[in-house]
Amino acid sequence: MTSLNGILPVWKPEGWTSHDVVAKVRGIVREKRIGHTGTLDPQVTGVLPLCVGKATRIVEYLQELPKQYEAVLRFGVATDTEDSSGTVMERMDAAHLTEERVREVMASFSGQIDQVPPMYSAVKVNGQRLYELAREGKTVERKSRTVTIHDIEVLDMNLSVSEPTVRFRVTCSKGTYIRTLCVDIGRALEVPSTMESLIRTMSAQYTAEQCYTIEQIQQAANEGSVEALLQPVEQAMSHVPALHMLDAFAHYAVQGRGIPFRACSFQPLTNQLYRLYDEQEAFYGLFHVPAEDTCLRPVKVFLPSTT
């Protein structure tokens, strides 16, 4: 059986954990080496790229890329989980909110912001998951984290009710809690708020249109065509600049030897990651120049025959 290597963009169904998806796909494609690129809560649907086979070696890079979501924020109600799955803790009439004020406040959350992780999250404090403490009825102090909101866009609003809603799209950095963003927006407007629903529409540059459902993956496995669903490693790393080397030095890359600058298409920068290709456009992996070095060195090698 041919070894499977590449990125499989999956559309995560509601009610499944990210681990459930990984376990299911492992069983379908019969490949143990599968890792996901960022956890989604069970009630959240959306884009969940899986790294299969040798592609698991780039999970760390894909996890760092921005993610995009579409969320519905409900004003006038607050829950203990910061989303609609929790117990209602507070209610108030928020019909006084105006479109101008809501847009103004939401726009103010663009850029770097500080967030306090919610109690119902997987963050560890003193070795314990916060959600475990929350289930015991405990609340502990959490350190705030700086995250980046690259873009936030209002898609539509319904403000003519006591519990107004806003549907918005947000592009953000790794580690951003959209639930907490919803709560913080409400706090800035001086009303309770919660996240009603959430869909992840982009992760690791993959969009909803590029994703496959579990049923489609199962059908491909039945037909023996799973390999055709996989995206190549080099495509997944397309955000990293490309560098070419002379064919005469290709064996240096394979052997893990330093490649001199004279063999490169341009002089690489120190501590910058590059996708390395030969003159025939064969992909050799990820390389960089360590500090105080004068050669290009391997970080993750992917031989052309195995990409």
> Which of the residues are catalytic?
41
DSSP string, 68-90: EEEEEEEESEEETTSBTTS-EEE
| DSSP 8-state symbol, 210 | G
User: CA distances (Å), 188 to each of 3, 61, 116, 119, 256, in order?
Assistant: 52, 34, 15, 20, 54
Cα distances (angstroms) measured from residue 246 to each of 159, 243, 264, 267, 271: 62, 10, 7, 13, 21
Structure-token pair, residue 139: 């609340």
Strands (E), the chain: 6-12, 34-36, 45-52, 67-75, 77-79, 88-91, 111-115, 124-125, 128-129, 145-158, 165-172, 193-203, 206-207, 242-244, 259-260, 274-277, 283-288, 295-301
The CA-CA-CA angle for residues 190, 196, 72, to 5°, reads: 80
